Amino acid sequence: MDITYEAEKLNKIIRESKEYNQYVYTRNALKSHEELYSRYVEFKRRNNSIQNYGSENIYDDMMQLAYENDELIHNTLVSDFIGAENKLQMLMQNVLKRLMEGIEFDNLD
């Protein structure tokens, strides 16, 4: 069995999935509005920065970010894209979880 070939088949299946196609559709719709897309990218960058690098007041920082971007987050194009992105991420997490089941790595601790 050629694992690389099987991975390519899985890649094709994922690209044909409703989750991936909805993600692409909503991403393209959002990108077609350059100013809105630019605002979303900045929001996402700040969101990731707060979550990944933290601060003393992560909760407060996240609430402030949400407050500052309330109109953006509730824009239909943005919220549709966020929903589609979340569904695709959940699909990919489930796929990776299934791929890793039963595979054991030695812990070098």
Residue 12 lies in a domain: no
Through-space distance between the first and last CA atoms of the chain, rounded to whole angstroms? 33
**What is the sign, positive or negative, of the torsion defined by CA atoms of 19, 21, 27, 29?**
negative
DSSP states of 72-102: HHTSHHHHHHHHHHHHHHHHHHHHHHHHHTT
What is the residue range of 60's domain?
A: 34-96
Residue 60 lies in a domain: yes
What's the number of domains the chain is made of? Answer: 1
DSSP state of 103: -
Residue 13 lies in a domain: no
Residue 23's CB is within 10 A of a number of other CB atoms, namely: 20
Q: Mean of the pLDDT values across residues 42-70?
A: 92
Q: Mean of the pLDDT values across residues 62-78?
A: 96
Q: Which amino acid is at 40?
A: Y
Residue 55 lies in a domain: yes
**pLDDT for 109:** 65
pTM value is 0.85
Residues 6 or more apart whose CB falls under 8 angstroms from that of 102 comprise none
Q: Is the pLDDT of residue 54 over 90?
A: no
